[in-house]
């Protein structure tokens, strides 16, 4: 595991008691709620909002993150939500080197983006080999910065529009169908309570 990357994220999560809302990402709910549950892999699971929602929908979840601080918080949130402990396997690992044990039906990579080193496209391409026929890869990314960041230099991760995600991942069309590729607006609240709308890139690939 890369100590520097882990230390960065542990420190970032350690700065406040809660970094994210605890709610599942809206794009995940929208795209996945009608899928029959199976085995899911949540990449960069953070504080567990998506993994907990997937478990509630009947998915058997493996939730991977490099930050033990985030995973401890996520496991507590799952416990508080009454999720059976065998529903979610919390895995502390660097996804640059980690490999799943078997096949899965869904990989969810929601905001699996980082301002520090992350070979994201390689990780995603490599892990597509673990998706069973008929399964899906969902990628949700920051596609535009909020206005309060636009006024300064953007120190966040590289931004990706949906069409850029599809091009960058370059999955072979004989094996993969692009089912959704949209830039969806989302309302956000800034550090001083400012309201704004930013775009999320939402891309769903289906394995033939
Ligand atoms: C922007 S957060 C998104 C968290 C969550 N998916 C969400 O939507 O709220 C990115 C997450 O990726 C994790 N991460 C970054 N690099 C990683 C790596 N190499 N291996 C595993 N997790 C990583 C971070 O610890 C962080 O929790």
Give me the DSSP letters along 94-119: -TTT---SS-EEEEEEES---SS---
What pTM value is reported for the model? 0.95
Q: Compute the distance from residue 91 Cα to the ligand 1 centre, in Å.
A: 12
141 Cα distance to chain centroid: 8
Q: What is the CATH number of domain 2-207?
A: 3.40.50.150
* Residue 137: strand pairing partners: 107, 205
Rounded Cα distance, 78 and 102, in Å: 24
Rounded to 5 degrees, what angle do the CA atoms 151, 154, 157 make?
Answer: 150
Which of 5, 9, 138 has most ligand 1 atoms within 8 Å of CB, for mutation?
A: 9
CB of 68 sitting under 6 A from ligand 1: no
Q: Compute the distance from residue 49 Cα to the ligand 1 centre, in Å.
A: 12
Cβ-Cβ contacts under 8 Å for 98 (sequence gap 6 or more): 64, 91
Query: Would you write out the chain's pLDDT as a tens digit for each of its 208 residues?
Result: 589 999 999 999 999 888 888 899 999 999 999 999 999 999 999 999 999 999 999 999 999 999 999 999 999 999 999 999 999 999 999 999 999 999 999 999 999 999 899 999 999 999 999 999 999 999 999 998 887 776 555 556 678 999 999 999 999 999 999 999 999 999 988 878 889 999 999 999 999 9
In the chain, domain spans: 2-207
Q: Of 108, 148, 152, which Cα lies nearest the Cα of 130? A: 108
CA dihedral sign, ordered 158, 159, 164, 167: positive
CB of 65 sitting under 6 A from ligand 1: yes
CB of 52 sitting under 6 A from ligand 1: no
CB of 91 sitting under 6 A from ligand 1: no
In the sheet where 176-189 sits, what is the strand order?
88-92, 60-65, 39-43, 104-110, 131-142, 195-207, 176-189
State the closest ligand 1 atom to the C-alpha of 140, by its place in the atom list counted from 1.
8
Q: Compute the distance from residue 9 Cα to the ligand 1 centre, in Å.
A: 8
């Amino acid at each position: 595991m890369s100590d520097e990357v882990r230390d960065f994220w542990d420190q970032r999560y350690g700065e406040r008691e809660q970094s994210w809302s605890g709610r599942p990402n809206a794009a995940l709910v929208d795209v996945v709620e009608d899928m029959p549950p199976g085995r899911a892999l949540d990449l960069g699971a953070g504080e567990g909002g998506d993994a907990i929602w997937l478990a509630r929908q009947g998915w058997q979840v493996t939730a991977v993150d490099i930050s033990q601080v985030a995973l401890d918080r996520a496991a507590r949130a799952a416990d508080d939500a009454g999720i059976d402990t065998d529903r979610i396997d919390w895995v502390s690992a660097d996804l640059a080197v980690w490999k799943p044990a078997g096949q899965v039906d869904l990989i969810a990579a929601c905001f699996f983006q980082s301002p520090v080193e992350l070979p994201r496209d390689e990780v995603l391409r490599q892990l597509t080999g673990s998706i069973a026929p008929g399964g899906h890869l969902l990628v949700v990314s920051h596609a535009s910065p909020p206005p309060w960041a636009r006024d300064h230099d953007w120190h966040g991760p590289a931004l990706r529009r949906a069409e850029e995600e599809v091009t960058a991942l370059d999955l072979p069309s004989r094996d993969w169908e692009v089912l959704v590729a949209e830039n969806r607006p989302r309302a956000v609240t800034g550090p001083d309570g400012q309201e704004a709308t930013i775009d999320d890139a939402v891309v769903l690939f289906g394995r033939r």
